[in-house]
Each structure stands twice: as structure tokens, then as C-alpha cells.
Structure 1
Amino acid sequence: MADQRTAQTPTPAEDPYEAAARAAAEDPERYWLEAAAAIDWVKAPTRALDDTRAPIYRWFPDGELNVCYNALDRHVAAGRGDDAALVYDSPVTGTQRTYTYAELTDLTARFARALADRGVAKGDRVIIYMPMIPEAVITMLACARLGAIHSVVFGGFSAKELAVRIDDTAPRAVVSASCGIERTRVIEYKPLLDRAIELAEAKPEFSVVVQRPQAPAQLRAGFDLDFAELMAATPEGAPCTTVRSTDELYVLYTSGTTGKPKGIVRDSGGYATALAWSMPHLFGLRPGDTMFTASDVGWVVGHSYIVYGPLLAGVTTVLFEGKPIGTPDASTFFRVIADHGANVFFAAPTAMRVIRKEDPDGEFMKSHDLSSIRAWFMAGERLDPGTYEWTTQKLKEATGRDIPVIDNWWQTETGWPIATNPIGLRTFPLKPGSPTKPVPGYAIEVLDAAGEPVPAGTEGLVVVRLPLPPGTMATVWGDDERYVSSYLSAFDGYYLSGDGGMVDEDGYVYVMGRTDDVINVSGHRLSTGTMEAALASHPAVAECAVIGVEDPTTGQVPRALVVLGGGQAAESDAQALRDELVARVREQVGPVAALKRIDFVPALPKTRSGKILRKTMRELADGRADVVVPSTIEDPAVLDGLREVLASTTGERPAN
């Protein structure tokens, strides 16, 4: 694979990060055209940016390529066919299997042929409704091979939500599995899929089902096809279909403020270029290295850093089917790292918080050989200082080395990091609570509500100056107007991230959370993330959330829900701990925080990607009757168990 650093290597006197950031800002056309040289193009682009429809921009408009070819075939052609491409590790089934680049190319090409034989062609949509099994990756890449547009829906989503996505994309086919396997149960997917198709107005022409022995499905003659039987009957693969750089690669849904989910559209050439650039520059990974991303292909992290990013870069990727605890215990991530020699680990902060709760002393970490690890990345929600410091300390105890624990901030909409510590360019000193510096190509600014820049160190609205770099969202599926109104219209010339935060005097970015997680107490705007950081710094706290609850006197009052670490705070000393926590917030945030109500709870409700449902809890605490629980919730029983607590306006309160 071409190493784009050759064309962009600065002189020895230049700082590599500063040189890249400057070049991307001053001449993005040249910078990203040079970066695009890391991709094999059928027709190489001669220009980088198309601004004729600004504020909607397109990258490499005259380029043509195939993303699947870049992820698979070219590595085989380069003599790396026997190298490991995909490692499947499933503690829930006791299965491990390694696929070489040659094997994965063959399987992908043959499944692409099976789809093409049934009418799937360039521009068609295919919905993928699957657990974390190799066939999910094969299907994604097979769609890319044909120029079809895939839309992955998290396996186990409700029939109603799946039907909404079927109606929005009108897929020609759905590829599913008979079941998914959770820690304590098997979830049958086929009845959910059948009900979704029944509810949907846009009916797919056929489905393909991967039959799993844990719960085989009843297939309907004439509509449902068996994945294994199709592959057995398809000995020859399909060639790669050439698409334009600006053609859609996939649609990935994220929640919308109107209740209708937004289909984030990702293009082909810009995305391939951005991810190929990010692997060596942001993660320090090159062919022969191994990346273990503990996410799901239903989320953007899974798309970018389980599937496309590693494979585009010729890196071995680990596909993990399990949870951070309970499969079988809190050691599972460390076992996977040791078994497969992962060089970079990537997970959500919530994963480390639940591991910390189960194993506060980090004994499981110490019991595995983590000598291969070079960096530990976190994304999905803010990495609070407490989790950062615990992870950093326990990694050093386990390895005897200083392993950088790196927050990186990005969104489904951007597809790859906006801010991080770019260890392939330069490793900056870490600051707890900050994802470090803007990634070259992203011009981050902080504005007040009137759109005016705020001084360094002052919190405001985090925005990114347009145009966004390659790989970011192209539009909302079928709705350019919604794309502009949702993201590009608040401030002329800026992308509105929806997050609040600041940039300090050293240029470090701090993202404190969604702007609707800023509360107003007696006219003072306070970040709940700041209060959460203070609470999480207490050694007894495993996890916490602060919400703003309506108050007739002050407008809002903060209220905390705290999950304690194992063996902490017996009932007899619960009040003393509440007093300690309130005092800590008062000391670190100030008396204006006015935190008085703290409830100790067994767990916090989250989405499957690990985001805490703060908005839902706030609405329940406010007594709203129209509370909509997101379809992405991980375990509805957790929220159900908190309803009475949230609805209560009384309870033990610490003294002022």
C-alpha cells in the first residue's frame, strides 16, 4: 500500500502535526489530493473539492474507484493474500477463526455474485440486520463490491424501528441472521424481521438468513434464502463495480430530534481517503499491525474501525462478539488483546467503567499479557478524568509501561475523529478530560449563542468551519434540506456539532457533552459534564450522570445518579458518602452548582453504543407525559427500575 507520508513528510525542523494541520488548512485541495494517492483509483481524481452546491460539499468529484477492491483485492494483488485480515473472536459461542485477505476476498466476491444473481445492482440498497459475526462484514463488503448501498441496523432492534429504516431506504434485499446471542439469552431475529417487513410499506424482494445453531429460523419458501446454501451454490465471485467517488457507500441511522431517525450518507472516495489517512496518522497502524475495536458494526465506530479503516490500511482487525463483562467476566477484553496481539485497543468509556465496577483493583488486567498494546483509545461519549486516570494507572501496573489512554471525539455524522491525540504524527502530553488537538482538516472553533467567538478557556458551542474534510457526511438520505437545517444553518459557514465545550490556551479541545446537557441554575449556565467529572473523581464512584430537573425558583437544579464500585457504601454510611460527594462538587465546580440530591442506583440506562440516556432521565424526572425512550436502549429494564426514583421529588438529601 502506498504510504502517503512520502509526499507529505515535513522537513526535520517542522513538527509533523503542525505541518499537517497547516497544510490541510492553507491548501486543502492539494493536501487531500496527495492523501488520496493512498487509494487505488480506477480514475484518479484531478480535483479535491466541489463547492458548487455549498454549503453541501463533495470530495474528489471526478474520481472513480471501488472501496471493496481497496479493502481486499489490492492486498491480495500485492502478495499479502496469506496475511490475516479478520479475526473472529466470540466468547458467547466459544468460537475463534482467522480469515486471510485471500479467504475474505473470495467469500466476499462469491456473496456479491449471489446477490447480483438475484438482481442487486449498483445504487440498490441492502439492509443488514445482523449480530457481530463474519457474515456481517462479508455482506457490507459485498455490497460495496457491487456498488450497492448498505445500511446496517443493529441486530435485535425492534420490528417497528427496523420497519422505519426499511421504508426510508426501500431496500431490494435484507440480509439477517437467525439469532443474536447476549450474555444471558438468545434473541431470535427472524420473527422481528418478519414483523418489520409486514409493517413496512416498502417491501424488499428477498432476504438472506445466516442460520445459527443456537436458534435456527423457519424460512419462508420463495422469499427467504439460506446464506450457507447460497454460498455453496456460488463457486465464482463477482468483479468489482466501478463507482464515482461521490456515490453513496452506506447509510447509517442516528436519532433525530423530530423522532424520525436521520440516515447519514457516507460517500465512497472521500471516506476511503479519510480512513486510509487516519490509520497511520491518528492510530500509528500499518500493514501487519492488529486493531481490536470493541464496538458493533451497527455503529459508526464499527463501520470505520472494525471494517473499513483497518482493511483499507492492510491491518488485521478483530471482530468481537461479546460484552466487556459477563462473557465470561471482566477479563474478556484483556484476554482478546493477549490472544491476538492487538497493538491498538478501541472502546467506549462506559466499557471501562463497567469493568472498573467489577474489578476496581484491575486484577484481570494484570493477569494477561498486554505487551503488544501501544495505545488505548476511547470514543462514543466523553472520557471523564476519573475513568482516564483509573485506566492509565491500571495499565501501567499491568504492563510496567506508560500506555497512552486517548480520548477521541467524533460523531456518526463525521465518520472519523474530529479531535484526538494523533500518535502517528506526534504524541502530545495528555490532559484529563480533553481529546487533545483538532485532527488536521477540522477547523474547530467555539462560539457563543450569537455566533461570536469566545475567549480561550471559555465554554460555548463547538462548531467546525466548512468545508468539513473528506469522509464526513455527504447529506441526510433523501433530504438535503434536512441536512442543511439540522447541521449547517445555525451559523453561516459552520457545521454545528451539537456539543458544548471549549478550547484552552494550548489549543486542547474539551467537549463537555451535548448542548442540551447544559443546565441553567439561577441564570448560571453549568455543564453537567463538569459536575460528573467531580463526582467520578471519588474512588467509590464507578459511574454517574447529572441531569437538570425543572425547579420553580431557580429554573433548574442538578440531580445526580451514582453507581458505586463493588463493595462500596453500605447503607449505614450512604449519607456520609452523599455529603462527601456534594462537598467535592462544591469544591471543584463551586457553590453555584447547588447539587443537593444524589441517588445511588444499581445501573444507568444506556444506548447500545454506551451513551447514557440523560435526556430521557431528565424528562422522566420533570414528569413529562410524552417521554420517548430511544429505540437504541441497551436494557429497558434498567430504565424501568429507575422510573420511581426519577419521579420522586423527595428523598434523602445531604445537608447544605
Structure 2
Amino acid sequence: MIATASRYPETYAAWKADPQAFWAKAAEAIDWIRPAETIFDPDQGVYGRWFAGAECNTCWNAVDRHVPTRGAQAAIIYDSPVTGAKRTLTYAELRDEVAALATVIQDLGVRKGDRVIVYMPMIPEAVVAMLACARIGAIHSVVFGGFAAKELATRIDDASPRLVLAASCGVEPSRVVAYKPLLDEAIAISSHKPEAVLLLQRAECAAAMQAGRDHDWAVATSAAKAAGRFAACVPVAATDPLYVLYTSGTTGKPKGVVRDNGGHMVALAWSMANLYDARPGEVFWAASDVGWVVGHSYIVYAPLLVGCTTVVYEGKPVGTPDAGAFWRMISEYKIRTLFTAPTAFRAIKKEDPGAEHLKRYDLGGFRALFLAGERADPDTVKWAEDILGVPVIDHWWQTETGWPIVGDPLGLGALPVKHGSPTVAMPGYDVQVVDEGGHPVGPNVMGSVVIKLPLPPGCLPTLWQADDRFRESYLAAFPGFYSSSDAGFIDEDGYLFIMGRTDDIINVAGHRLSTGGMEEVLSSHPDVAECAVIGVKDALKGEQPCGFVVLKSGVSKSPLEIEKEIVKLVRDRIGPVAAFKVAITVNRLPKTRSGKILRGAMKKIADGDPFTTPATIDDPAVLDEIAAALEGKF
């Protein structure tokens, strides 16, 4: 490890020496109704359970306990450039909104352990909905607002919810998306039928109500408040589920990632102080969506657990109205810390490579930018560092873990940055790189990235009602370890480099090559805004790489000229072994609504394999553009 003034080395060593003592100390940040009998019980669950015997309530810790000391402080700032709406909820106001909604949910028959689907856009009521479920011990399952009816139906069937909390619509920069028809269709085609729907009518699109099943959110919560009916927090076991969040399954059936109450709170609170260096009273903004794990962890729960102000933003990094949208938010609300996806910064860089919009805003109080969700290419990180003048921290984690596996712990004192690396393992995670036989490999040798069991607090204990599937999906490949399905290497200083998913390692004439390494070269070209590399089937070599590039605005060179430069760049930096001969300029790349590039779909198009349009895709039309760009190339 590099010599450093950071407290990280001794903190990580303390965890490794006595994990139970480490997490017992971290648990002091949480209010417990009953403390744990056992910090970690290896005999419970699939690989053990944290804080066995403890009782707690997540909503109490995130909301009620702050009211005596910071009741007048903003808990939620809502800003919607797509509707022009702005709103602030204090901790005291949030408690009342949550407690009133919790009463309505109880009136509709929901009890501790029941599931509730939340199908809502980025509005404060989505956060209120999640907290109201947590308040009464109901298990929420948030489905990204506007998700297709078929996908919503599969989640309804798997979770068997008693109630659906929904909004009438979502608002995009160029259109209004009606949610209610999608929800009605999903319920019609699902085998399980929720007993009730509580619907928030938005001004942009009123929805038809179904008599006997549908109830008006505003009417019901107003009646509860008028009658002085505010639900109390219900004690739950620390090991009881807080939520189920579905992630795509390889078999087509989504996997319900389970998150418990106790370990989740402990891990998130620890990460806010020690990794993100976020302090009570500060404004913390995770520019994501509540439909994704980042929204769960770092819009809703973590900021509120530690007494921060969190931001709910209904907009985009560009186009609402311009590439200065994030700078306006940081300046207007005195945001200290921003956490977003590298894709967002690539979009801003593409539209405004000279950061001209930044000059209009005062970012004097801004302290740090964190990037996660996709690999942060060094070129984008350097660009952000140059224009912002603050630490830009790449970190790596997954829906399954719920909080960062690897990062640069700003709260403990930042470590030296190595561009291309999310830095080092956080306490709780024993991260190793192994070969196909599960044997550890040496420094700088590519392999599968795995985590030694047990996983720390906050990580999934299992999949919803599917212990065997959990074992098969994550634990079977490397016994004694959790398989991340990511490939990478650890260098001589202990820094991890994630080079792509294990299925993004391509085999070119017997050479295992990382598409992530090639993308790093492509993104270093001065005219490239973003890129993706896939392996295309090749009868002779097995696979051959193909690079797609999106150019920055205002580029004067021809695409053909840039493509030739890119091919030469890869051959110069990686060598002829890469067999890199095809670079294709496109206007955009296919992405999920959270900004992840759909490389798998691109590969299937290139290989001519059958595929279904991914449910999470932002705009399906882009797949036709990719197919057209590939014509005649192979």
C-alpha cells in the first residue's frame, strides 16, 4: 500500500482483526429498540446474518429521531426543471407526511411483512412512500416509474404485494408518460392481484380510477391528517426485510435482491461519514432515481439516517434546460457532495467540452464528486477534476451489495488517486482476484473479482423467496466467495481495477482481452465523448473487437478520419494482439434509463443472434441505429 496520511490502513486493519467488534462500534450510530444478542450469527440464513436478535425501525432512525434537534432543517429538496416545481420538506414536515401515509396504508389492510409495490417518478412522495412502508414494517419493492406492463407484472407476481402506491404519470423533457394504463395492464396480466391501488394524481395527467380498487392519495392522506391520525413506528427484527429490489436475471426472470433493516442502516451510516465525508446538516445529492439501488441507498436512506438534506431531482444532466443543469443545482442549493453516474458527466462533456456553462455558477461550497454505476474512464475523471477543482472519486459497488465495495474514503482521509481504479476495498469486504479454478492470482493479473464470505452488513442476505437461486447465482462458482461477475486485477498497492463484466472479456485468437482496457484507449482520443467496445463473433479468431464512438459537439474532422485514428491508437497502445480494426461513429449508444450502456444488446445485434429489447432501455429506436451502423462491417 502507498504511504499515506489517511486513517484508512489502520481502519481496514481493525476491521480485519475483529469484524464483530468493528461493526458493533459502527452500530452505535443507530437507535436500537433492542440491541443485538449476536453481532454476527453464522448459523442463520444462507451465509449468516448480522445483528441477530436486535429490534429497530428504519423510518425512526431516518426521520423521527432527528425532529427534536433538526425539525426545521430541510430533509428533502425537490427540484423539477421538467415541470417547473420546487418544494422543500423539513424533517418535521416529512415525519407528518410519512406518518399520515402510513396510516392510510394500514387502513388499506397492509401489515408488518406485507409487500407494497411503489411505481412512481422522482417526486417527494416516492420517498415518503418508501419511508411509510418502513415505518409500519411493510416491505417495499420500488419499480422504476414507467416500466413496461409486462416487466411490472413479473414483479407483482414475484413479490405478491397487497398494495400498489403509484402516481398518475411521469414527466420527461419531451413527453408525459401515463403510468396508470401501464399499471392497469400489469395487474390485468399478472396472476397475483393486489387488493388496492393508492394513486397520486399529478396535474400533468389525471388518471381514471377503478371503483372499489383505486383510492385517491391526496384525499386519503388529507383525511388522516385532519383526524390527527399518524401511525407510530412498528418494531421489526434487524434481520427482517426492509425492501426487495429487482435486478435483471439471466434466465429472464428478475432477481429480487433482499435488504434487511439493521445491517443496512449500520453500513449506510458508516459509509456516509467515512467514505463520502458527509456531515449532518449538509446537502447531499445523489443524481439517480429511486427505482435504482443508488436511489434507495443514497437518495432516501443514507442521507436521512445521518441528518443530511437530500435532493430529489426530476430532470436530466443535459437538456433541462442545458448542460449547466447540475451546476445550477449545486449553486442554488449549496450542495456539498454530488454522487452520479459517469454517463452523466460524459453527456455534459459531450455537450459542453469547454465547461462554458460552469462559469455562470458559484460552486464555492462544493466539496467532492463521486462516480459509480459504470466504469469511470480516466479521461472523464480528469476532465471533471480539471473543471471542478475538487476530488473526483470513482467507486465500485452493486445492487446486491447496497453500498460501496471499493472506494477512496474521503472521510478517513483521501488516498492517492490512480485514474482507472476505484481505489481500495472498504472495511467489511475482503476483495480478491482469482483464476477460473478459484485460485488467487498475483498483482496486475486479470481474473474474476470475488469477495470472501461473509458479506458485510448491508449486503443482500438472499434473494426474495429464492435461497437456492441465490446460492447458484452468486456463491456456487467460487465456494466460500461471493462472485461479483466482474473481471479485473489488483495492483501491487492493493488498488482494484475493474475492467468489465466477466462476459466483457473477449477471446481473440486465444488472448483474453478486456473491452474496458480498449474503451480506456478510445475515450482518450480528444474528439471522443463516449464509447463502447464489444466482441463480435469471428470464425477465425473466435472474437474480434468492435468499437463504437460518440463524438463531442463541434468536432471538425470527418468521422472516417477519426475512426482511422482510433484504430491506430489501439494498435499503438495495446498492440497488434488486440486485432482492433473496426471503429464505428454513431450518434448515440443504447443505454438503460440509469445510463448504463447496453453492450450485451449491441453484441447480439452484431452477432446476428436473436434477442428481446431490454426492458430497461431508454429509447428502443437506438438499436435500429446500431444495426444500421454495423451493416457491411463484418
> Taking structure 2 as the reference length, what is the TM-score of the superposition?
0.98
Aligned pair partner of 1:368 in 361, 367, 392: 361
Whichever residue aligns with residue 650 of structure 1, its letter is K
2:28 corresponding residue in structure 1: 37
Does the CA-based 8 Å contact 1:87-1:99 persist in structure 2? yes
> How many Å separate the matches in 2 of 1:443 and 1:351?
30
Aligned pair partner of 1:62 in 45, 50, 53: 53
1:523 corresponding residue in structure 2: 510
1:100 corresponding residue in structure 2: 90
2:412 corresponding residue in structure 1: 425
Matched, 1:49 2:36: no
1:23 corresponding residue in structure 2: 14
Does the CA-based 8 Å contact 2:46-2:462 persist in structure 1? no
2:585 corresponding residue in structure 1: 600
1:83-162 residue pairs with structure 2 within 5 A? 83-162=73-152
Matched, 1:339 2:323: no
Q: Deviations over 1:556-588 (max 9, x none)?
A: 000011100002154xx3332122111111122
1:400 corresponding residue in structure 2: none
Does the CA-based 8 Å contact 1:55-1:467 persist in structure 2? no
> How many Å separate the matches in 1 of 2:538 and 2:608?
12
Q: Which deviates the most, 145-154 or 18-27? A: 18-27
> Taking structure 1 as the reference length, what is the TM-score of the superposition?
0.94
1:299-378 residue pairs with structure 2 within 5 A? 299-378=292-371
Q: What's the CA shift for 1:23?
A: 1.5
Whichever residue aligns with residue 119 of structure 1, its letter is G
1:619 corresponding residue in structure 2: 604
1:575-594 residue pairs with structure 2 within 5 A? 575-594=560-579
2:163 corresponding residue in structure 1: 173
2:209 corresponding residue in structure 1: 219
> How many Å separate the matches in 2 of 1:258 and 1:24?
37
Aligned pair partner of 1:232 in 215, 222, 230: 222
2:66 corresponding residue in structure 1: 75
2:633 corresponding residue in structure 1: 650
1:8 corresponding residue in structure 2: none
Aligned pair partner of 1:379 in 372, 387, 397: 372
2:543 corresponding residue in structure 1: 556
Q: What's the CA shift for 1:55?
A: 4.7
Matched, 1:629 2:613: yes
Matched, 1:207 2:189: no
> How many Å separate the matches in 2 of 1:628 and 1:446?
33
Equivalent residue of 2:562, what SS?
Answer: helix
Matched, 1:268 2:261: yes
Aligned pair partner of 1:482 in 469, 475, 491: 469
> How many Å separate the matches in 1 of 2:180 and 2:562?
48
> How many Å separate the matches in 2 of 1:191 and 1:14?
57
Q: What's the CA shift for 1:491?
A: 1.1
Aligned pair partner of 1:534 in 521, 524, 532: 521
Q: Deviations over 1:24-61 (max 9, x none)?
A: 11211111011111000000113211111475221101
1:194 corresponding residue in structure 2: 184
User: Could you list the runs of 5+ residues in structure 1 that have no partner in the other structure?
Assistant: 1-12, 397-402, 652-656
Q: Deviations over 1:411-458 (max 9, x none)?
A: 000000000100001201111111011111111000011111111111
Matched, 1:440 2:423: no
Matched, 1:285 2:278: yes
RMSD over aligned Cα, in angstroms?
Answer: 1.2
Equivalent residue of 1:336, what SS?
Answer: helix
> How many Å separate the matches in 1 of 2:5 and 2:317?
41
Q: Deviations over 1:577-614 (max 9, x none)?
A: 12211111112212111111111000000111111010
Q: Deviations over 1:323-351 (max 9, x none)?
A: 11111111111101111111000100000
User: Could you list the runs of 5+ residues in structure 2 that have no partner in the other structure?
Assistant: none
1:465 corresponding residue in structure 2: 452
Q: Deviations over 1:492-521 (max 9, x none)?
A: 110000000011111111111101001000
CA 1:504 to 1:223, structure 2 compared with 1: closer, same or farther past 3 Å? Answer: same
Q: Deviations over 1:151-204 (max 9, x none)?
A: 000000000000000000000000111100011000000000000000011000
2:248 corresponding residue in structure 1: 255
Does the CA-based 8 Å contact 1:33-1:47 persist in structure 2? no
Between Structure 1 and Structure 2, how many residues are aligned? 628
Whichever residue aligns with residue 484 of structure 1, its letter is R
> How many Å separate the matches in 2 of 1:587 and 1:185?
45
Matched, 1:502 2:489: yes
> How many Å separate the matches in 2 of 1:649 and 1:61?
60
Using the aligned pairs only, state the percent identity: 55
Does the CA-based 8 Å contact 1:526-1:593 persist in structure 2? yes
> How many Å separate the matches in 2 of 1:119 and 1:150?
15
1:10 corresponding residue in structure 2: none
> How many Å separate the matches in 2 of 1:569 and 1:607?
30
Does the CA-based 8 Å contact 2:327-2:361 persist in structure 1? yes
Does the CA-based 8 Å contact 1:562-1:600 persist in structure 2? yes
> How many Å separate the matches in 2 of 1:367 and 1:524?
49
Equivalent residue of 1:37, what SS?
Answer: helix
> How many Å separate the matches in 1 of 2:613 and 2:410?
38
